[in-house]
Chain A
Amino acid sequence: MNRFDYARPATIAEAVALAAEPGATYLAGGTNLLDLMKGDLVRPARLVDVTHIPGLDAIEPLADGGVRIGALVRNADLAHDADFARRFPAIAEALLAGASAQLRNAATAGGNLLQRTRCAYFYDAASACNKRTPGAGCDARGGETRMQAVLGWSEHCIATHPSDFCVPLVAFDAIVEIEGPKGRRECPLEHFHRLPGDTPERESDLAPGEMITAVRLPGAAAQFAGHARYLKVRDRTSYAFAIVSAAAALRLDGETIVEARLALGSVAAKPWRAHAAEALLAGAQANEANFRRAAEAALAEARPAGANGYKIELARRVVRRAFILAHAGTPARIQALPASPFATGALRHV
């Protein structure tokens, strides 16, 4: 690990000033950044520890029925906030499906958005990686590709964004609140993460020195509370990143879908909002045939980045199942093994 400066600002303004210098990086929960530093994969000259800035750890209900989640709210605190979990159950379920209890206690809402890919070649200093060293090439291509992207990848990068939390957030039109050297602004989460194109090193919309101060959910998101689920398929029952995940939600009028929301996780460099699938379901009957059509639409552009074609069919099935679960209704309580196929109660299979 390189030698670095450590700063602990007391205000956002102070933090932004400290972080504006080249080589500075914000530190919040540290669950990803410190591992990257120990692996010599990032070498910040300065860590700006924002965890002592007051006021960033609140969960505030908003007048429109939405909520503002402070950037420093810990994953576990958010998931276990009863009011939040009642109004945004798929998000609570996604949070509890992520990482381990210890990590959820440390990881923050803002940091979750900025977590890096889990691509093995990104984590291996000896491998070529365009994210770490622009122009170096991508050793993941032609290498181990089982977990890599099937949507939105480029020849320069086939990595995925591994977040669970971001998947329902993007489905529910979350907005990222940002402060930086040029003042305050906000950015829809859907446009916050970037596809790799030929600049895979640019992963988000944040400019140098900008920090996330909150994530806001509009009141409309709470209208899906009765039919909102997150489903995560993984290699072990807990403590594993998703192979494919999906957040699916419905607003129903009887058996007619008024509005549908769908996003997929671990399929692309960003949490993947599936607007075409949503449009297909709007006004349609809530049945398996329509969920199947939505799944087809969601994956229409998918193509394997290597030996990971199985993820495309798996993603279709995850989408169908997630809608079946959402249609059946949000459980009164978050079940044990949240978001796992084994958490579900009785269901009919497609």
Chain B
Amino acid sequence: MSETPLTQASAHLRHGANIGQSLTRHEGALKVTGQARYAADHHPAGMLHAVLAVSSIARGRVIALDVAAAKAHPGVVDVMTPAHKPPLAQDPDEKTHPFMFRLDVLQNDRVRYPNQPIAVVIAETLEAATEGAVLLAPRYETEPARTDFPAGAHFTPALVGVADPAEAHHGDVEAGLAGAARRLEAIYETPAQYHNPMEPHGIVAAWEGDTLFIDTPSQGLAMAQARIAGLFGIPPAAVHIRSPYIGGGFGSKGVFSGPQVLGIMAARLVGRPVKLVLRRGQMFGPVGHRAPTRQSFRLGADNAGALTAIGHHTVTASSQHDDFFEPAGGVSHTLYASPAIATTYEAVRLDTGTPLFMRAPGKAAGSIALESAIDEMAHACAMDPLAFRLKNYAEVEPMSGKPFSSKALRACYAQGAERFGWAKRPLAPRQMRDAAGMLVGWGMGTATFPALMFQAQARAVLRADGTGVVETGAQDMGQGAWTALGQIAADSLALDPDRVEFRAGSSDLPDAGIAGGSAHTATAGMAIHGAGADVIARLAELAMGDERSPLHGAGNAGVIARAGRLFRRDDESRSESYVAILARAGIPAIEGHGKSATDPAAQAAYAMHAHGAVFAEVTVDPDLGQLRVTRLVGAFAAGRIINPRMVQSQYYGGMVWGLSFALHEQAVIDPRSGRPMNANLGEYHVPVNADLPSIEAILVEEHDAHVNALGIKGVGEIGITGTAGAIANAVWHATGMRARRFPITLDKLIGPQDN
């Protein structure tokens, strides 16, 4: 394969000066001292508080709201209802592209899921608004909730995920199964999960005429700006969003949500700034979730343990009123070599809020099922799970036949296994005990996530004093994006990070794309890289064209930029500082622009994925079933690492989430009402520190010449994949009991009840 056309003006690039360094968080001191202002920390003058009233039924109509009682409560200013609200310029049920989701913003009296907003109370204080919402005492005409998953009426969705086909075939699965020496059929079930970032969705909205100023967490500022502009019939440029810090998003802040729109409507209605923040329980409905899945696997293998077929059928659920289908089958397209692969889908409609992208959408749920099935097949073939995976190592992407742009998965397996001590693992389950007599088990899983890129823009300015400014509307969700992007910005101008001001977090800045799909660093980073390169190219042109410059006549040899100076590439004794070049030219600043986008040619030629291997040790009480993950070792290869400290934290966070997926997280839905019964952080369990005593993430070196010029893949989501399955497999290895319904709770492990 020839060079991809992605390499952009790499003349000045010196990887290693900033990129690759474990800088600490740019905004860390602000956060630990409480000075970082999140959306809900803003209190513009005259601000009122808005509180949602949400439906306590899953399906029906609101037939009465006691608006008078709410308004009579001291401090209540107004109550927004379907009958009393500002007009919208666009139907909130309109859907013109797959990233547009239908919103519930009081357009009518219908209730289509639990916790749907049905009114907004606006008051002088939060307490008054909260009590006002209670006093509304809604009455409903209730219809039976359709909650029966997976038993409801099935249909085949047209597309799954954003735009993946609902059916994909490679080879002949039936023939592969028919000819197999060993076959496995198993069904795995994953529950509904809710994102629950620490920071709930919130907004502070203020109108000045037809210009809107808002503080709100958003994973995609330009997209949010366009959505708001459409709904309110104003130009996007009249919408000013600030979103410098996001207290976690995990996909739930990727598309602008109904409650955020309601905050803007409330401010319009009362003509004063309004703050609206969701209560924790209100996060379980209108802002997305991960849909449940029921995944049926059919695997075949020959006598040597080579897979002959992978059949992966997913049943999932969307809401009654909109489409998002958890794309769980995707993992089976990329991970294991098989002459025959088929992924198919069916779906059910439930009276729930619409499911959405949730950290590692499709991949997390698909991975725990696929890695469990692979483990079961390895056992059926009497093979070590790692040996089985190596036997079925995909040299090219199995579904497409494309070569990988890079794939250091063998190194991940080797380094992870070595660090974990995997070689000592007994093949049979229930063989290991600790000193206290507890059962110990070891399991592994392969991690994978696609290397995606979206579109972004950035602006870079070099000032006469030799300092730089780089701007893009990027968000920091806590993952350290600003720090890493700041490093790329500094390198793009060949300046020390403390000589470059990095500006982000506002929709007034160039569009930084979406902080999602594990693509933010690559997307925003490439735009920044391009903007800096543009500045350096202009600067070089200026110097080389000036006969007073020592760089004059560098010609085809060109120059390289380093530490605020340009050097002749063929004679480094000849150099000149940025300051000197600009001063002589009498120019106050040079501005450059950059854009990034996927390269269709490279996409067509290569399969692009990050990979990893995760090894887990669990300890299980043989009588009581209580279990604990005692060790996790992950080894991940994700192209060039901009900031190892941030990346390691991302892997840790993902691995902890994988643990959560395997052992803890689930929305408990009442089967009669369809309502989530554990809509709080006391009962919706995620791991606590004591649940994970030891965690390690190894950064495996990988160079990728094709994903983008910086060689960046993504690290935000991959840690969940592999980990969840590794833990499930370790539980089996400890106990000999295979749990196929997740999360694995102790009631599934206490085994035969002896009376």
By a beta-carbon cutoff of 8 Å, the part of chain A in contact with chain B is 1-3, 40, 118, 120-121, 123-127, 139, 142-144, 146, 233-240, 243, 296, 310, 313-314, 317-318, 320-321, 337, 340-342, 344-350
User: Quick one: which of B40-62 are within 8 Å of A by CB?
Assistant: 56-57
CB distance from A25 to the nearest CB of B (A): 17
Q: Contacts A146-B747, A233-B746, A340-B626 known; list 15 others, CB within 8 Å.
A: A3-B74, A3-B131, A121-B677, A126-B56, A127-B673, A143-B677, A238-B689, A314-B625, A314-B746, A314-B747, A317-B623, A317-B624, A321-B623, A341-B438, A342-B438
**Most interface-central of B436, B664, B745 (chain A CB within 10 A):** B436
Look across to chain A and name the residue whose beta carbon is closest to the beta carbon of B663.
A236
Do A310 and B622 have beta carbons less than 8 Å apart?
no
Q: Do A235 and B131 contact each other (CB < 8 Å), given the known contacts A243-B746, A313-B753, A349-B437?
A: no
Which chain B residues lie closer than 8 Å to A347 at the CB level?
436-437
Bound complex: CA A237 to CA B625 (Å): 12
CB distance from B655 to the nearest CB of A (A): 16
By a beta-carbon cutoff of 8 Å, the part of chain B in contact with chain A is 56-57, 74, 127, 130-131, 134, 435-438, 619, 621-626, 628, 663-664, 668, 670-673, 675, 677-678, 680, 682-683, 685, 687-691, 745-747, 750, 753-755
Q: Do A313 and B690 contact each other (CB < 8 Å), given the known contacts A126-B56, A342-B628?
A: no
Do B672 and A236 have beta carbons less than 8 Å apart?
no
Do A238 and B677 have beta carbons less than 8 Å apart?
no
Look across to chain B and name the residue whose beta carbon is closest to the beta carbon of A345.
B436
Bound complex: CA A243 to CA B688 (Å): 17
Bound complex: CA A318 to CA B74 (Å): 53
Do A40 and B134 have beta carbons less than 8 Å apart?
yes
Which chain B residues lie closer than 8 Å to A142 at the CB level?
672
CB distance from B279 to the nearest CB of A (A): 8
Do A342 and B626 have beta carbons less than 8 Å apart?
yes
Do A124 and B685 have beta carbons less than 8 Å apart?
no
CB distance from A339 to the nearest CB of B (A): 11
CB distance from A33 to the nearest CB of B (A): 15
Which chain B residues lie closer than 8 Å to A236 at the CB level?
663-664, 685, 687-688, 690-691
Do A120 and B683 have beta carbons less than 8 Å apart?
yes
CB distance from A296 to the nearest CB of B (A): 8
CB distance from A216 to the nearest CB of B (A): 31
CB distance from B632 to the nearest CB of A (A): 14
Which chain A residues lie closer than 8 Å to B690 at the CB level?
236-239, 337
Do A348 and B127 have beta carbons less than 8 Å apart?
no
- The residue that B750 contacts in the complex, of A3, A126, A314, with Cβ under 8 A, is A314
Which chain A residues lie closer than 8 Å to B623 at the CB level?
317, 320-321, 349-350
- The residue that B688 contacts in the complex, of A40, A125, A237, with Cβ under 8 A, is A237
Contacts A/B (CB < 8 Å), 25 sampled? A1-B127, A1-B131, A2-B131, A40-B134, A126-B56, A126-B675, A139-B670, A139-B673, A146-B747, A233-B746, A235-B745, A236-B664, A236-B688, A236-B691, A237-B690, A238-B688, A239-B688, A310-B750, A310-B753, A313-B754, A320-B623, A321-B624, A342-B619, A342-B628, A349-B622
Do B750 and A317 have beta carbons less than 8 Å apart?
yes
Bound complex: CA A18 to CA B591 (Å): 72
Bound complex: CA A54 to CA B83 (Å): 55
Number of A-B contacts (CB under 8 A): 108
Secondary structure dominating the interface of B: loop
Which chain A residues lie closer than 8 Å to B747 at the CB level?
146, 243, 310, 314
Do A313 and B437 have beta carbons less than 8 Å apart?
no
Bound complex: CA A313 to CA B747 (Å): 10
- The residue that B626 contacts in the complex, of A118, A146, A234, A313, with Cβ under 8 A, is A234
Do B677 and A233 have beta carbons less than 8 Å apart?
no
Q: Do A233 and B672 contact each other (CB < 8 Å), given the known contacts A1-B130, A347-B436, A348-B437?
A: no
CB distance from A286 to the nearest CB of B (A): 19
Do B670 and A143 have beta carbons less than 8 Å apart?
yes
Q: Do A344 and B436 contact each other (CB < 8 Å), given the known contacts A1-B127, A3-B131, A321-B624?
A: yes
Do B755 and A313 have beta carbons less than 8 Å apart?
yes
Look across to chain A and name the residue whose beta carbon is closest to the beta carbon of B73.
A3
Do B678 and A120 have beta carbons less than 8 Å apart?
yes
Q: Do A237 and B628 contact each other (CB < 8 Å), given the known contacts A120-B668, A121-B677, A310-B753?
A: yes
The 7 closest A-B pairs by CB, nearest first: A126-B56, A237-B690, A313-B753, A238-B690, A120-B677, A310-B747, A341-B621
Do B677 and A124 have beta carbons less than 8 Å apart?
yes
Bound complex: CA A239 to CA B690 (Å): 9
Bound complex: CA A199 to CA B668 (Å): 28
Which chain A residues lie closer than 8 Å to B685 at the CB level?
235-236, 240
CB distance from A179 to the nearest CB of B (A): 32
Look across to chain B and name the residue whose beta carbon is closest to the beta carbon of A348.
B437
Bound complex: CA A257 to CA B626 (Å): 29
Which chain A residues lie closer than 8 Å to B436 at the CB level?
344-347
**Most interface-central of B670, B678, B688 (chain A CB within 10 A):** B670
Bound complex: CA A93 to CA B307 (Å): 52
Which chain B residues lie closer than 8 Å to A342 at the CB level?
438, 619, 621, 626, 628
Bound complex: CA A296 to CA B750 (Å): 17
Which chain A residues lie closer than 8 Å to B673 at the CB level?
126-127, 139
Which chain A residues lie closer than 8 Å to B668 at the CB level?
120, 144
Look across to chain B and name the residue whose beta carbon is closest to the beta carbon of A243.
B746
CB distance from A118 to the nearest CB of B (A): 8
Look across to chain B and name the residue whose beta carbon is closest to the beta carbon of A240.
B685
Do B624 and A233 have beta carbons less than 8 Å apart?
yes
CB distance from A5 to the nearest CB of B (A): 15
CB distance from B469 to the nearest CB of A (A): 43
Bound complex: CA A238 to CA B690 (Å): 6
Do A143 and B688 have beta carbons less than 8 Å apart?
no
CB distance from A94 to the nearest CB of B (A): 17
CB distance from A268 to the nearest CB of B (A): 19
Bound complex: CA A144 to CA B134 (Å): 26
- The residue that A341 contacts in the complex, of B74, B624, B663, B688, with Cβ under 8 A, is B624
Do B746 and A235 have beta carbons less than 8 Å apart?
yes
Bound complex: CA A321 to CA B621 (Å): 11
